Amino acid sequence: MFDFYFELPLLLRLVLQGTAVILVLFPLAAACSMAERKVSAWIQGRPGPNRTVPPFLAWIPGISILQKLGIFQLAADGGKFTFKEDVVPGHVNAFYFILAPIASMIPALTTVAFIPFGAYFTELADGTMKLVPIALTNLDVGLLAVFALGSLGVYSLILAGWASNSKYPFLGGVRASAQLISYELSMTLSVLPVFLWVNAPGGPGTLSLFDVVQSQSQPGFFGGMWYIFLMPLSAFIFLIALFAETNRQPFDMPESEADLVGGFHTEYGAFKWSLFFVAEYAHMIVGSGIFCLLFLGGWNPLPWVTLADVVNFGAGFLPLIASPLVMGVIGITLFLLKVGFFIFFFMWVRWTLPRFRYDQVMTLGWKKLLPLSIANLVLYAILIAVKDLYFPNL
Amino acid sequence: MSDLLFHLFAVFTVACALGVVFNKNAVASALCLLLSLVGVAGLFVLLDAFLLAVLLVLVYAGAVVALFLFIIMLLDMQGGDRKRFTKATLVSSTVAGGLLITGLVSFATRGLNHTTILAEVPVVGNSLRAYAEQLFTVYLLPVQIVGFLLLIAMLGVIVLSKKFEGLEDIK
């Protein structure tokens, strides 16, 4: 059925795959802005955007449901951002001012290349079934690559703050650089216990995100356990650092409307402004995806119940379920549901907790989170060594 | 394809490195350094050294250059008044430059003379596991020494940058 696709040159296929992923991620990130407005409205007990509908569609019966959901408001916002006059203020450094929002998109849209979304069975030449990840690349150093590219996201904020040539954006840019560097350390240290556990002696030795999910899909009590139960502290530190790295409240120091007007994007408007926010939501989606892969079993539906179990069970009734296409769709859907919950969680926290002061952010990062993550790493290193030495078959 | 990419990355890296030196604006210099580091990471990828490429981007491009920018923006450097070159700086910079060029030339020519030795270097693979095994077995002592040096440098920075005025500063 899809033979014509595999006859295309490899380079063209890779470009098509990358474009397909971006074509999903970009609108998803834009749709998050509407979700944010609806969630905030729901938390604050008001209806939120529920009036917009194009007049030429208003006669369709049942369209008021979409209208109440604010779907058309999203399109209206998008149209407004695209067609609004794109002002470059006279006092800015125009080159870097325009470069900053473009630079914000690069890490936001490239990190997704290392995220596996799902998996399917394929039959090898010798007849055995092998689980294959659905991802653009499955690198040995997968997670490090995500961290490396993600760490480049700070430059767009610094550049925007600096090129705006005005005080509040400048303060926002300086805060962004300090905050993002501070929390990167805790973030990296907090995931190390996961990889200590995954890379048991004699294993392949890998940082691949697919292998992390695979090691949460093994039989047995510890094999099928999601790492959020095994390492709750790691997951907690990672989640806090993720909030700080994506500049979400209560950590949105670079933006900080109450004391910095709009922070780094004070001087921005129209399409350039919206690019910053699409990038922020794309970071949130990728970050939630990594959290789900590391601590929530990726595309596995429940702890101790893997996707392969479900598909094999379902194939007993309906053989179609075991086909790669259906299995892939089931896996991606489960994964996106988990990611969707975390996007909601981000918004939930934003509209529930007040913003930290800047000194509190620094104290939390350097004096609390960093020692905690180092202690967590040492503790798990000792526990895992003891387990490997004395209970190798556990 | 790989040759073309090598030339692209090499030219890109050197051009950006020149940009670091010749830019008047400190922020633009730092950004050129960032691009140059990305170019070097690209060269590492062409050598199949994915881990080195990723670590270079993670540590240098992601954190060190961001710190540079932080410092530049915090101090608001606008060039300032630089001291004129004195005789001592001229002599010492000539000597240093000469040594650097001699070193580079000898490195390049020795590399040409002894290319067979390269083939004798044991191939340990480019996987993460291979790196880790080498670092924790063969190169354990150098790794420890480098780590210790970094610790000393860090302590030195703390001592130098903190102004100890009274006893209550030393806690």
Q: How many C-beta atoms lie closer than 10 Å to residue A248's C-beta?
A: 20
What's the pLDDT at A246?
Answer: 85
What's the pLDDT at B161?
Answer: 81
What's the pLDDT at B96?
Answer: 93
Q: How far apart are CA A377 and CA A157, in angstroms?
A: 31
Interchain contact, A151 vs B63, CB within 8 Å: yes
What's the pLDDT at B149?
Answer: 94
Domain range annotation of chain A: 89-390
Tokens encoding B20: 């670091």
pLDDT tens string for chain B (171 positions)? 678 888 999 999 999 999 888 888 888 888 899 899 989 998 888 887 788 888 888 888 888 888 888 888 777 666 556 667 788 888 988 999 999 999 888 877 776 665 555 555 556 566 777 777 888 888 899 999 999 999 999 999 888 887 766 656 555
What's the pLDDT at A66?
Answer: 79
Tokens encoding A217: 């899909």
CB A67 within 8 A of CB A55: no
Amino acid letter, residue A1: M
Mean pLDDT of A241-267: 81
Judged against a pLDDT cut of 60, whether residue A356 lies above it is answered with yes
Of chain B, the end-to-end C-alpha distance in Å amounts to 59
Confidence at A200, pLDDT banded by 50, 70, 90: confident
What's the pLDDT at B76?
Answer: 66
Entry field: residues in chain A: 394
Measured CB to CB, residues of chain A less than 8 Å from chain B are 96, 139-141, 144-145, 147-149, 151-152, 154-155, 158-159, 161-162, 170, 173-174, 177-178, 180-181, 184, 204-207
Percent of chain A with pLDDT over 90: 3
What's the pLDDT at A127?
Answer: 66
Question: Which residues from A are below 8 Å from B33, CB to CB?
Answer: none
Question: Which residues from A are below 8 Å from B61, CB to CB?
Answer: 148, 151-152
Helix/strand/coil for A129: strand
Top residue of A10, A92, A147, A158 to mutate, by most chain B CBs within 10 Å, is A158
Judged against a pLDDT cut of 60, whether residue A335 lies above it is answered with yes
What's the pLDDT at A213?
Answer: 83
Q: How far apart are CA B93 and CA A375, in angstroms?
A: 47
**Displacement of CA A146 from its chain's centroid (Å):** 10
Provide the H-helix boundaries in chain A.
3-6, 10-43, 63-69, 71-83, 94-110, 142-150, 154-163, 167-198, 209-215, 227-230, 232-245, 257-260, 270-295, 307-317, 324-350, 358-363, 370-390
B69-88 residues touching A, CB cutoff 8 A = 69-70, 73-74
Cα dist. A255→A98, A121, A268, B63 in Å? 18, 45, 12, 21
Per-residue pLDDT tens digits for A155-194: 888 888 888 888 888 888 888 888 888 888 888 888 888 8
Contact partners, residue A67, CB within 8 Å, separation at least 6: A50, A51, A52, A53
Task: Judge if ipTM > 0.95.
Answer: no
Give A386→chain B minimum CA distance, Å.
Answer: 20
Per-residue pLDDT tens digits for A280-310: 888 888 889 899 888 888 888 878 777 777 7
Interchain contact, B63 vs A152, CB within 8 Å: no
Per-residue pLDDT tens digits for A234-249: 899 999 998 888 888 7
**Displacement of CA A28 from its chain's centroid (Å):** 11
Judged against a pLDDT cut of 90, whether residue A154 lies above it is answered with no
Mean pLDDT of A128-152: 80
Is B27 touching A (CB cutoff 8 A)?
yes
Interchain contact, B69 vs A184, CB within 8 Å: no
Question: Which residues from B are below 8 Å from A170, CB to CB?
Answer: 73
What's the pLDDT at B167?
Answer: 59
What's the pLDDT at B123?
Answer: 61
Cα dist. A34→A31, A74, A390 in Å? 5, 6, 53
Per-residue pLDDT tens digits for A88-124: 888 888 888 888 888 888 888 888 888 888 777 777 7
Confidence at A319, pLDDT banded by 50, 70, 90: confident
Q: How far apart are CA A118 and CA A131, in angstroms?
A: 10
Give B117→chain A minimum CA distance, Å.
Answer: 29
Question: Which residues from B are below 8 Å from A264, CB to CB?
Answer: none
Partner-chain residue, chosen from B63, B74, B129, that has the shortest CB–CB distance to A205? B129
Confidence at A199, pLDDT banded by 50, 70, 90: confident
